[in-house]
Amino acid sequence: LADISRPQSNLRDRIKNGLQYDTLAQTIIQLVKEGKTRRFWEEDGLILTKGKRIYVPSYDNLRREVMKECHDSKWAGHPGVHRTLALVGESYYWPHLKDDVEAFVKTCLVCQQDKIEQSTPAGLLEPLPIPERPWESISLDFIV
């Protein structure tokens, strides 16, 4: 159990440390201190938003690490864009989170190789009407 909680604690410490290098985080902290925002608040050195989601700064690939944990780990199992977005959004927040998750999943090599393409099946072939005279109808069959 201690091994499971240690990486999370390390990530939280790295997020706390990264806040000082993120200009948006500094702006949010200033607004919180001045009482000019209710959307965010500071707790235990972290910036939190609705649902007690932790703001992840744009520093030291922290956002990528969070996405990797929620997408690539054994417990997640490469769940795709919507499920990964739900897993990340459950505990974390940053601007353009949806765009970042979509880009991350689209570039995941495992997903590209193993996932079945979600397309509609080809329709049934229908016979053409029988022409009444020569050259009345010309058609081609494409074999793919």
Single pTM value for the model = 0.71
Query: Where residue 3 falls among pLDDT bands split at 50, 70, 90?
Result: very low
Query: Where residue 117 falls among pLDDT bands split at 50, 70, 90?
Result: low
Helices (H) and strands (E) in the chain, counts: 6, 4
Sign of CA dihedral 132, 137, 138, 143: negative
Query: d(Cα 136, Cα 144) in Å, to the nearest integer?
Result: 26
Each residue's pLDDT tens digit, 56-100: 999 999 999 999 999 888 877 888 889 999 999 999 999 999 999
Look at the chain and count its residues.
144
Query: d(Cα 102, Cα 67) in Å, to the nearest integer?
Result: 10
- pLDDT score of 4 more than 60: no
